[in-house]
Structure 1
Amino acid sequence: MYKESTNVVVKHLINRLRDVHTSSNEFRLTIEEISRIMVSEALCNFPTVTQTVKTWQGSLDVQMLEVQKLVLVPILRAGEPMLTGILRTLPYAKSGFLAMKRDEETAESKLFYENIPNIEDKTVFLLDPMIATGGSLIDGIDYLKGKGAKRIISLNLVAAPEGIKNVQEAHPDVDIFVAQVDERLDENNYIRPGLGDAGDRAFNTND
């Protein structure tokens, strides 16, 4: 299943990211804000448990997310601002990290760093701003499944239809929540209109 956000605030923020005049700092902060909205949409039907909290009027039984059953895993480096934003909403969620690099000639990705906590019986949010061909996402999902994740939810900002199709064919059991589905991939496997290189723009490393 994949779901594209219909939230007009999300669309507004995506278009702010598209603007070449958006500074690196604003770019990161905007990614953080979109991610907070998107994770709220993705968790709207997530199971809750009863917990007792102490209020100003005494003890109260309330419904809370089982945050200890969630693990947030960004694909570095572009996914890092997504993690930062979500942790403001869910500060007690555990985090892991995957670092992958795309070969510009073959468009294939290679995993060169990982640090993942125990994810058995956990719901894992895989955070990756862009789905172009879907190669990095597929490789990331393969890795997390190998570690025993109970459920994987992909949280993404911008996607090409081709990339979504590839991910769904490889992993039909993974839910994809995306802020914006763009028009297409070009001949160089870049999303059109896209955002440019999200990592370079977020961390001001472009030449």
Structure 2
Amino acid sequence: MTTNEPAAGGARVVAHPLVQHKLTLLRRRETTTAGFRRVMREISLLLAYEATRDLALETVTIETPLEPMEAPLLSGKKLCFVSVLRAGQGILDGMLDLVPSARVGHIGLFRDHTTLRPVEYYCKLPDDIAARDVIVVDPMLATGHSAAAAIARLKQAAATRISYVCVIAVPEGLATLHDAHPDVPVYTAAVDRGLDANGYIRPGLGDAGDRLFGTK
């Protein structure tokens, strides 16, 4: 899988043709709820491949059907996916297909439609989060306030190795997240034009949560 040079704000745009093809399917207005959910799961698996590129490996001795050999395995399998509720669940499912042994955390945030600021209503993280590589998942990086708040919450819990995966970002959100957490790399399938007056990504793909769960 190839990745373009980092965009403004440090985002690593995954330019693989399959990722871009699936993103177009997600953007289409006529994509059904079932189709949107399926394609989100597929694109998430591909993004996870890129976001886990730097996981540590260790060498172990195994037996093949023909002979023993030294072979690489993930070192300790210390990985945690943290879903920003509710839309983050759409990415989480695909990532767990790739790394089913990963631990899972959840942070519940909703956006105040007047201030566009996040309000936390739920947080449940593994007790050993400080010892894990953490990947935060949420389909849309819009204003960046929810992403910054979620990562701040993780740092309060002593997490230190954190990355962020989304399907679509915008320059405003990337700037907000980078200003708050310059140490956190961002992986995305696209950086769109920007936000409208209501804080929605344009051209975007609509409300990811509503399209995942058929609530609109």
TM-score band w.r.t. shorter chain: over 0.9
**Aligned CA-pair RMSD:** 1.3
Q: What corresponds to 2:145 in structure 1?
A: 135
Q: What corresponds to 2:215 in structure 1?
A: 205
The reply on whether 1:9 has 2:18 as its aligned counterpart is yes
187, 190, 193: which is aligned to 2:197?
Answer: 187
SS at match of 1:68: coil
Quickly say closer, same or farther: Cα 1:185–1:67, change in 2 above 3 A: farther
Write out per-residue CA displacement over residues 23-56 of structure 1, whole angstroms, 9 at most, x where no aligned residue. Answer: 1111111111111111111222332111334432
158, 161, 164: which is aligned to 1:154?
Answer: 164
- Gap runs ≥5 in structure 1: none
60, 80, 89: which is aligned to 2:89?
Answer: 80
Q: What corresponds to 1:55 in structure 2?
A: 64
Moved over 3 A (4+): none
Alpha-carbon separation, structure 2, partners of 1:167 and 1:121: 23
Alpha-carbon separation, structure 1, partners of 2:104 and 2:204: 27
Displacement after TM superposition at 1:58 (Å): 4.4
- The equivalences for 1:17-166 within 5 A come to 17-66=26-75, 68-117=77-126, 118-166=128-176
Q: TM-score w.r.t. structure 2 length? A: 0.91
Alpha-carbon separation, structure 2, partners of 1:60 and 1:76: 43
Quickly say closer, same or farther: Cα 1:58–1:91, change in 2 above 3 A: farther
Q: What corresponds to 2:7 in structure 1?
A: none
Alpha-carbon separation, structure 2, partners of 1:81 and 1:51: 34
- Count of residue correspondences: 206
Q: Which amino acid aligns with 1:184?
A: G
Alpha-carbon separation, structure 2, partners of 1:74 and 1:161: 22
Q: Which moved more, 1:164-173 or 1:55-64?
A: 55-64
Q: TM-score w.r.t. structure 1 length? A: 0.95
Alpha-carbon separation, structure 2, partners of 1:67 and 1:86: 18
